[in-house]
Structure 1
């Protein structure tokens, strides 16, 4: 019972943070591991519950008019294919190796976001062109693969990637990121389900709390904009990096 309460609270907070600035998987994935769920089941179960949160935030951002559907329509198929290939790859790995890899990747994501903290203050998007679409397609495929392969931190990478490539501010980048995240989550979720890598009992309970967390987080992001997204993103990055450095030492 205590394990379920812990996971539910972690899921709510993860979805809340993820809706605002991405990186919610950096909370939910370690929570599953701390609760004693094996690495492969943690990946699949986390994907199941986080997909519900991703849908909630995507829907609310779409209603707000912050999503560029022309862009999403182009990038989505590449994210989808990348995610499926990522899941198929991770299921071939040994769990002992995966444990170490999870820790290293979480630390790498934390360090990356610290050094990227000064971008995304202004929305300088001036339309789609051949260059940014080509870069966007490559990026969408790679991040789809990463999301299927590992997952936590995908939102963080996507937020900054869309800022760099399309010159969005934090708010518009986050809104479009949520849609791409949801698409890759669905693809990965189906693949995990077909390989019996989901604990549905845990996942369903956590998913309910993630829906509420995502709804609240999206509302805060829309109302406060980049000025709330940026400091939360930086705070999360610092916290995760410090935590993982202590763990590895």
Structure 2
């Protein structure tokens, strides 16, 4: 089968579709779908890392858009936080994507690994965090912190990407004080913006493989819809457990990259 100019076997196509579905589900619940989807794309013969990253963004934005819409209808997250945070994240992601081909990934991996371990320890040590929304700041301070978080995490997503959704969730829970379910809902809106910011830059560079991205994206959409509905039905406790599993997998994956 020829997709986006690449000759793909049926087994490869099925792997990509399955990876897209799984990534959409995980990403909708707590973020981190790129852990599944990006490595699958990198296995495609003849695809470059930048093409894989750009195609992952194309598929990802389809899924995050659907899960964001699903969350919005059922959870109704506070757009006074999510909106400005998404705008800052879009700008940050564009800047990160512009630098993606210039900076070596190994500069960031140790820092990310330490941050993830700290996130896991914090979440396990404070089981009550994220069970209910208890905002730490109000008004201008809340907005400024949200903008800073959006800009920083957006930049990271455009530059590297793995675990962006998880970083957004823990920032919204641990720093701003939202419950896990509300944080997941807001994170999907912001993550849609980071995907868009990076994709716009990659599109100008001609990096996305559009037909392949749309194929994987269709599976991602289905997974995202089911994942969002599952999270909404099960609540913050379920999201917290999935969050810890995803963070643990991220730690193992990045730790293996360093060895």
Q: Same fold (TM over 0.5)?
A: yes
Match of 1:111 in 2: 117
Residue 241 of structure 1: how far off its partner (Å)? 2.3
Spell out structure 1 runs of 4+ moving beyond 4 A.
100-110
User: Structure 2 CA distance, aligned partners of 1:220 and 1:68?
Assistant: 20
User: Structure 2 CA distance, aligned partners of 1:81 and 1:216?
Assistant: 29
Give ranges in structure 1 of 5+ residues lacking alignment.
Answer: none
Q: How does 1:145-160 map to 2 (within 5 A)?
A: 145-160=155-170
Task: Quickly say closer, same or farther: Cα 1:166–1:248, change in 2 above 3 A.
Answer: closer
User: Structure 2 CA distance, aligned partners of 1:105 and 1:24?
Assistant: 20
Q: 1:141 aligns with which of 137, 146, 151?
A: 151
Task: Quickly say closer, same or farther: Cα 1:21–1:58, change in 2 above 3 A.
Answer: same
Once structures 1 and 2 are overlaid, which stretch shifts more, 182-191 or 216-225?
182-191
Instruction: Compute the TM-score of the two structures, normalised by the length of structure 2.
Output: 0.86
Q: How does 1:210-221 map to 2 (within 5 A)?
A: 210-221=220-231
Q: How does 1:1-249 map to 2 (within 5 A)?
A: 1-36=10-45, 37-93=47-103, 97-98=104-105, 100=106, 107=113, 110-118=116-124, 119-125=129-135, 128-249=138-259
User: Structure 2 CA distance, aligned partners of 1:209 and 1:104?
Assistant: 32
Q: Is the 8 A contact 1:3 1:35 kept in 2?
A: yes
Task: Quickly say closer, same or farther: Cα 1:248–1:127, change in 2 above 3 A.
Answer: closer
Residue 127 of structure 1: how far off its partner (Å)? 7.1
Task: Quickly say closer, same or farther: Cα 1:73–1:113, change in 2 above 3 A.
Answer: same
CA offsets 1:192-248 (integer angstroms, 9 cap, x no match): 111011112321110000000000000001000111111111112223323443454
CA RMSD in angstroms comes to: 2.1
User: Structure 1 CA distance, aligned partners of 2:56 and 2:114?
Assistant: 20
Residue 65 of structure 1: how far off its partner (Å)? 3.5
Give ranges in structure 2 of 5+ residues lacking alignment.
Answer: 1-9
Q: How many residues align?
A: 245
Task: Quickly say closer, same or farther: Cα 1:160–1:181, change in 2 above 3 A.
Answer: same
User: Structure 1 CA distance, aligned partners of 2:113 and 2:13?
Assistant: 26
Q: Is the 8 A contact 2:75 2:232 kept in 1?
A: no
Instruction: Compute the TM-score of the two structures, normalised by the length of structure 1.
Output: 0.89
1:233 counterpart SS class: helix
User: Structure 1 CA distance, aligned partners of 2:34 and 2:112?
Assistant: 9
